[in-house]
Amino acid sequence: MKINPIAFKEDAASQAKQEIPRANGRALAVLGVLIVLLFSLVSRNFYIEMLKPVNMSPVPAITVSIPASASANKIASILEQHDLIRNKAVFLLYLRFSGQDTQLKAGEYALSQSDSVQRIVEIIVSGQVVTYPFTIPEGFTLKQIAATLAEKGFIDQEKFLAVAANASFDYWFLEGVPKGSARLEGFLFPDTYRIPRGFTEKQIIDLMLKRFEQVFSEEYRHIAEGAGMTVLEVVTLASIIEKETKLDEERPVVSGVFHNRLAENWRLESCATIQYLLGEPKERLTLKDLAIDSKYNTYKNLGLPPGPIASPGKASIVAALNPADVDYMFFLVKQDGTHAFAQTLAEHNRNKKKYLGR
Helix (H) and strand (E) counts in the chain:
14, 6
Domain boundary among 125, 144, 159: 125
Side chain identity at residue 274, one-letter code: I
**Residue 14 lies inside a defined structural domain of this protein:** no
Given this model, what pLDDT does residue 47 score?
A: 74
C-alpha 42/C-alpha 40 separation (Å) is 5
Are 171 and 239 members of one domain? no
Question: Residue 31 gets which letter from DSSP?
Answer: H
C-alpha 258/C-alpha 229 separation (Å) is 14
Given this model, what pLDDT does residue 312 score?
A: 98
Domain boundary among 78, 99, 125: 125
Q: How many CB atoms lie within 10 A of CB 264?
A: 8
- Read off the pLDDT band of 3 (50, 70, 90): low
Are 196 and 222 members of one domain? no
Max Cα-Cα span within the chain = 154
Are 320 and 306 members of one domain? yes
Are 170 and 202 members of one domain? yes
Determine the average pLDDT of the residues in 177-204.
95
Q: Assess contact for 256 and 323: CB atoms under 8 A.
A: yes
Are 250 and 187 members of one domain? no
Given this model, what pLDDT does residue 15 score?
A: 56
Domain boundary among 215, 248, 276: 215
Are 209 and 243 members of one domain? no
Q: Supply the pTM of this predicted model.
A: 0.81
- Domain residue limits at 248: 218-326
Q: How many CB atoms lie within 10 A of CB 255?
A: 25
Given this model, what pLDDT does residue 34 score?
A: 60
- Read off the pLDDT band of 248 (50, 70, 90): very high
Determine the average pLDDT of the residues in 8-36.
60
Given this model, what pLDDT does residue 123 score?
A: 96
Helix (H, G, I), strand (E, B) or coil at 131: strand
φ and ψ at residue 295, rounded to 5 degrees: -70, -15
Side chain identity at residue 208, one-letter code: M
Percent of residues, the chain, with pLDDT higher than 90: 78
Are 269 and 222 members of one domain? yes
Are 89 and 109 members of one domain? yes
pLDDT over threshold 60, residue 2: no
Question: Residue 91 gets which letter from DSSP?
Answer: H
- Read off the pLDDT band of 22 (50, 70, 90): low
Number of structural domains in the chain: 3
Q: How far is CA 37 from CA 31, 33, 43, 51, in A?
A: 10, 6, 10, 21
pLDDT over threshold 80, residue 39: no
Question: Each residue of 47-87: pLDDT tens digit?
Answer: 788 889 999 899 999 999 999 989 999 999 999 999 999 99
Given this model, what pLDDT does residue 75 score?
A: 96
C-alpha 219/C-alpha 221 separation (Å) is 5
Cα dihedral sign, 164-166-170-176: positive
**Residue 279 lies inside a defined structural domain of this protein:** yes
